[in-house]
Homo-oligomer: A and B are copies of this chain.
Amino acid sequence: MTTASDQTEPKRRGRRAGGEDTKAVLLDAAREVFIARGYEGATVRSIAAKAGVDAAMVNHWFGSKENLFAQAVLKLPFDPTVLVARLLDGPPEQTGDRIARNFTTIWDATGGGPFAAIVRSVTSHDGVANVLREFFLTSVFAKITEGLDVDRVELRASLCASQVIGMGMVRYVVKFEPLASADVDTVVAAVGPNLQRYLTGDIG
A residues near B, CB below 8 A? 37-38, 40-41, 119-120, 122-124, 129, 132-133, 136-137, 154-155, 158-159, 161-167, 169-171, 173-180, 182, 185-186, 188-191, 193-194, 197-198, 203-204
Contacts and interface: CB of A to CB of B under 8 A. Distances in A.
A162 B163 contact: yes
A62 to B, nearest CB: 22
What are the 8 A-B residue pairs with the smallest beta carbon separation, nearest first?
A: A166-B166, A189-B204, A158-B179, A38-B123, A162-B166, A162-B170, A120-B123, A158-B176
A193 to B, nearest CB: 7
Copy tally for this chain in the complex stands at 2
A10 to B, nearest CB: 33
A174 B135 CA distance: 12
A153 to B, nearest CB: 10
A180 B191 CA distance: 22
B190 A198 contact: yes
A158 B169 CA distance: 11
B129 A174 contact: yes
